[in-house]
């Protein structure tokens, strides 16, 4: 380890840039790290911050401490850019205490799932809290305002001329405890002292668990089981004696909450993954228990109806009418609703509900031990709030060092375990996280933490200083370790783009690794040319469920009707509910009635024991509803001159999530109508910006150019056309999350 003390007189040099007090590093290393802290927190926790700085430096990072009464976010970003352009090169930063929080608007296309009407809903709900403002130096923002209630929150809009995808220069994380009636400075001190000691320990990955909650990925057992195979590639030592990975599913036990709270307190636990639905203060673990006999079925129906009646009361609806509806709808006796508002029954139902999920209070009463936790759940990382779930795990009573969590809702169909095997190679959690460019994904805790490793490569150094060294990454393409080949595919592609296409096809066609093949397909999707569109015809039958799932989804995005026969066969025969679900959606986007004919043709070729009529009737009803929705509701509504503006805009925004190919010409027509309401045209051209993979993309770009070049158009419309054009030219922020 390098321990050379630099700067004169072997002392810490303190320099002052404007009001920013910078404590320079003590030890010299190839790369650096920045601790950014507000002055009040620093004054209260200085001894702990210095201890943490020392531990980080002993672990191989020259570390700066930046202290100020930060007046605005730009001050921080300016300082980080200066350090990044200095030597040693900055690789990451951590924000401790009350550091300005950025709420981003006009950037929902960089989120995996978040699509909230920014005009209709309050800014604090319709903006995305994100530190991509700080760690992606190329993104360009316009300051909008400071929050009127929380002085640490600032609103910014992503500018149309900005890059429209995330490619971070550094990683960042937050050390911001959760709680309202707590001394947060004291929690920070305790956390930093604890982590300073933990960083000196050797910690090889030997024990982990991955959990899947109810409703996740359509509760597909194929999806659930294939993830285990993918993780085995990345953590082989966990699948031989001496290692352990528990793969848990909510359906394994009605006591899964208790099981998880026990497992997460295992002192040998290294990392844990939660796949589930979530909220700021909740992890949704279990559904109501499946009934095993007639009496339990009756009680389940009673419980369901009671919950609906109480919901009606909360919404100030007519309770009597609600009771009458459910009695008639489910043909149940009226006395099944007796006592629905009695204290004893409400209490009993509440206790049952509470037992299903992990609440923020539950975490406060346990001692979590996993050094790293991934919360693949909505809102668990809402660090803009005073209380949030990930903060309770990291800064509570246990030994959690860092968590990956989301500040808003997140898509289930993302690749949650992407590059995760790099943690097995000793890569810092921050350097791993920097490869995953989502606006809502954040690290809570120490981003410099890494597990111990026997790897012969210093991947941390390579990821920062050798990022553009093609020769190094090309050598790793031939590695025996799939995790290294996986990373090399991405790095070589980044440096060579189209020149790598033929080899990408060969890698997809021949590599035994699920993860390597997935990355080859992802790179081909970024090229988004004919080779990609042809490979989908093969990848739809890949042995790996996730590749099949994304392939069916991408077919719908492309909009090529030649995919319909392949999709018809897939949704009727694939063993994964999620693959079938995505395939059905794609067929509806390609043309519901044409798809229905292909379903009938495919069914006719299937064995006689197949319930052909039943399947055809079910799909026929669904496809016909989809066709009517598009052609008799959505398209007429967006052109309607009698429908309220609010309703028209809502229908236009529907095309952001449901990208019907046949809707594109109609949307283009509406966007170009000079006599149309400007707000309608702006929302229409924004919706067209979501069709990145479409074969009609060039037509959309032409429409954008038409609007941009016609200076008689309102500036608001021109700016949105610039933004949509840039999005389409650049490609999706993450091509696996179109």
pLDDT digits (tens, 9 = 90+) for 208-217: 999 999 999 9
Angle at 373 between CA 582 and CA 380, to 5 degrees: 65
Q: CA-CA distance, 721 to 705, in Å (whole number)?
A: 8
The per-residue DSSP string of 209-247 comes to: EEEE-TTGGGG-HHHHHHHHHHHHHH-GGGGSTT-EEEE
Q: What is the pLDDT of residue 290?
A: 81
Q: What is the pLDDT of residue 9?
A: 28
And the tokens for 90?
């900055």
Q: What is the pLDDT of residue 591?
A: 97
* In contact, 423 and 450? CB cutoff 8 Å: yes
Q: What is the pLDDT of residue 13?
A: 39
And the tokens for 464?
């920062």
Q: What is the pLDDT of residue 508?
A: 98
Checking if the pLDDT of 10 tops 60, the result is no
Q: What is the mean pLDDT of the chain?
A: 95
Q: What is the pLDDT of residue 18?
A: 52
Checking if the pLDDT of 7 tops 80, the result is no
Phi first, then psi: give them for residue 59, nearest 5 degrees: -90, 0
Task: Report whether the peptide linkage leading into residue 482 is cis, meaning its omega lies within 30 degrees of zero.
Answer: no
Minimal CA–CA distance to 403: which of 362, 438, 370? 370
CA dihedral 558, 563, 564, 566 (to 10 degrees): -140
Angle at 393 between CA 388 and CA 395, to 5 degrees: 90
Average pLDDT, stretch 593-598? Answer: 96
* In contact, 285 and 213? CB cutoff 8 Å: yes
And the tokens for 158?
């992503």
Q: What is the pLDDT of residue 399?
A: 98
Query: For residue 296, what pLDDT band results from cuts at 50, 70 and 90?
Result: confident
* In contact, 737 and 413? CB cutoff 8 Å: yes
Beta bridge partners of 204: none
Q: CA-CA distance, 487 to 422, in Å (whole number)?
A: 8
Query: For residue 251, what pLDDT band results from cuts at 50, 70 and 90?
Result: very high
**Residue 293: how many other CB atoms lie within 10 Å:** 7
Q: What is the pLDDT of residue 479?
A: 97
In eight-state DSSP terms, residue 689 is T
CA atoms within 13 A on the CB side of 132: 36
Q: What is the pLDDT of residue 288?
A: 85
Lowest mean pLDDT among 339-353, 625-639, 660-674: 339-353
**pTM (predicted TM-score):** 0.94
Minimal CA–CA distance to 725: which of 685, 695, 693, 696? 685
């Amino acid at each position: 380890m390098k321990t050379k003390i630099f700067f004169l007189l072997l002392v810490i040099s303190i320099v002052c840039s404007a009001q920013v007090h910078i404590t320079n590093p003590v030890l010299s290393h190839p790369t650096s790290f920045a601790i950014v802290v507000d002055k009040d927190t620093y004054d209260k926790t200085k001894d702990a911050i210095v201890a943490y700085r020392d531990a980080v430096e002993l672990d191989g990072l020259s570390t700066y401490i930046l202290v100020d009464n930060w007046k605005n976010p730009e001050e921080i970003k300016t300082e980080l850019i200066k350090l990044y352009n200095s030597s040693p090169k900055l690789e990451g930063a951590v924000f401790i205490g009350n550091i300005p929080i950025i709420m981003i608007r006009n950037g929902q296309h960089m989120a995996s799932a978040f699509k909230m009407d920014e005009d209709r809903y309050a800014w604090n709900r319709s903006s995305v809290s994100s530190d991509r403002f700080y760690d992606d130096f190329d993104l360009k923002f316009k300051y909008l305002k400071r929050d009127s209630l929380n002085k640490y929150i600032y609103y910014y809009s992503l500018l149309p001329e900005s890059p429209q995808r995330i490619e971070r220069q550094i990683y960042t994380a937050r050390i911001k405890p959760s709680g309202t009636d707590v001394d947060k400075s004291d929690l920070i001190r305790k956390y930093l002292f604890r982590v300073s000691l933990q960083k000196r320990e050797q910690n090889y990955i030997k024990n982990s668990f991955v959990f899947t909650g109810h409703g996740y990925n359509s509760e597909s057992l194929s999806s659930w089981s294939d993830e285990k195979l993918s993780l085995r590639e990345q953590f082989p030592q966990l699948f031989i004696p001496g290692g352990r990975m528990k793969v848990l599913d909510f359906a394994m036990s009605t006591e899964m909450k208790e099981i998880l709270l026990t497992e997460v307190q295992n002192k040998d636990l290294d990392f844990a993954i939660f796949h589930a639905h979530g909220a700021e203060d909740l992890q949704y673990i279990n559904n109501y228990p499946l009934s095993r006999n007639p009496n339990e079925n009756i009680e389940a129906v009673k419980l369901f109806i009671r919950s609906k009646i109480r919901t009606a009361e909360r919404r100030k609806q007519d309770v009597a009418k609600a009771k009458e509806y459910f009695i008639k709808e489910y043909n149940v006796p009226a006395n099944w609703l007796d006592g629905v508002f009695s204290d004893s029954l409400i209490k009993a139902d509440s206790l049952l509900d509470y037992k299903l999920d992990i609440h923020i209070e539950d975490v406060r009463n346990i001692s979590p031990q996993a050094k790293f936790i991934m919360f693949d759940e909505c809102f668990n990382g809402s660090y803009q709030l005073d209380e949030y779930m990930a903060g309770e795990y990291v800064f509570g009573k246990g030994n959690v060092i860092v968590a990956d969590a989301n500040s808003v809702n997140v898509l289930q169909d993302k690749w949650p375990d992407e590059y995760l095997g790099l943690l097995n190679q000793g890569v810092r959690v921050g350097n791993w996280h920097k490869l995953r460019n989502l606006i809502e994904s954040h690290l809570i805790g120490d981003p410099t933490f890494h597990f111990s490793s026997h790897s012969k490569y210093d991947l941390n150094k390579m990821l920062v200083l050798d990022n553009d060294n093609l020769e190094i990454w090309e050598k790793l393409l031939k590695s025996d370790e799939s995790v290294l080949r996986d990373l090399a595919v991405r790095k070589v592609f980044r440096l060579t783009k189209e020149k790598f296409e033929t080899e990408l096809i060969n890698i997809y066609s021949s590599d035994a690794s699920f993860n390597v093949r997935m990355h080859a397909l992802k790179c081909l999707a970024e090229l988004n040319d004919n080779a990609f569109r042809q490979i989908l015809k093969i990848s739809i039958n890949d042995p790996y469920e996730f590749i099949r799932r994304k392939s069916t989804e991408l077919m719908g995005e492309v909009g090529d009707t030649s995919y319909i026969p392949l999709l018809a066969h897939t949704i009727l025969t694939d063993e994964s509910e999620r693959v079938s679900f995505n395939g059905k959606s794609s067929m509806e986007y390609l043309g519901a009635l044409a798809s229905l004919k292909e379903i009938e043709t495919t069914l006719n070729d299937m064995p006689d024991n197949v319930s052909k009529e039943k399947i055809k009737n079910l799909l026929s009803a669904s496809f016909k509803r989809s066709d009517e929705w598009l052609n008799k509701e959505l398209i007429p509504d967006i052109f309607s001159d009698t429908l309220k503006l609010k309703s028209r805009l809502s229908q236009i925004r529907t095309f952001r999530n449901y990208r019907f190919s046949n809707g594109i010409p109609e949307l283009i027509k509406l966007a170009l109508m000079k006599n149309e309401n400007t707000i309608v045209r702006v929302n229409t051209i924004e919706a067209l910006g979501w069709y990145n993979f479409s074969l009609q993309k060039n037509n959309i770009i032409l429409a954008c150019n038409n609007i941009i070049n016609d200076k008689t158009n309102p500036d608001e419309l021109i700016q949105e056309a610039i933004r949509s054009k840039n999005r389409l030219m650049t490609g999706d922020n993450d091509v696996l999350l179109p």
